[in-house]
Amino acid sequence: MQELTLIKENPVVLSTKEGITGMVDNYIKDIAFNGGDVLRDWAMCEKYGVLIGAMKEGLKPYVIKELEFCDKRESRSLGTDIKVVASGTKYDYSESKMWLEQKQRVDAESARLKDIETFLKSLKSPMTSVDEETGETVTHYPPSKSSSETIRSSVD
């Protein structure tokens, strides 16, 4: 429990969002100019992420209960607005014949589109075919690929 007391006393807790992002910007500039142990720093961020996520999940029922006593189920602490909001609202349209019919058409077209995508992904180079209905010559091209890099890390 003493370990978590250090979090409560950390100056970051008293900072604004702008102040926190400024700290991070300064830290990154320092890394850019002076180097550092970025892998250790990344691992530290991952561990803090686990800590913060677990704390928020554990505190959630207590915060909801506390906000029940507040006007509009919201409050403010340490420069942070905190409120209970509805999330994950789901609608069930299964009783609507009109919706079910349209959904069936959309699902059929989605399956057709998926088949076309699978065919195009299988192409290694452009391919020409003849449209059986119109007799028109059609050239099919493999899709272009793009990706971005990310970092995957996991904490033991």
In this predicted structure, what is the pLDDT of residue 1?
62
Domain limits, the chain: 2-83, 97-140
**What are the average pLDDT values for consecutive 10-residue runs of the chain, which has 156 residues?**
75 90 96 96 95 95 96 93 94 97 98 97 96 93 95 91
Q: Can you give the pTM of this predicted structure?
A: 0.70
Q: What is the per-residue pLDDT for 10?
A: 83
pLDDT value at residue 36 = 94
Cβ-proximal residues to 120 (8 Å cutoff; 6+ apart), any chain: 140, 141, 142, 143
Instruction: Give CA angle at 99 (96, 116), nearest 5°.
Output: 155
SS (H, E, C) the chain: CHHHHHHHHCHHHHCCHHHHHHHHHHHHHHHHHHCCCHHHHHHHHHHHHHHHHHHHHHHHHHHHHHHCCCHHHEEEECCEEEECCCCCCCCCCCCCHHHHHHHHHHHHHHHHHHHHHHHHHHCCCCEEEECCCCCCEEEECCCCCCCCCCCCCCCC
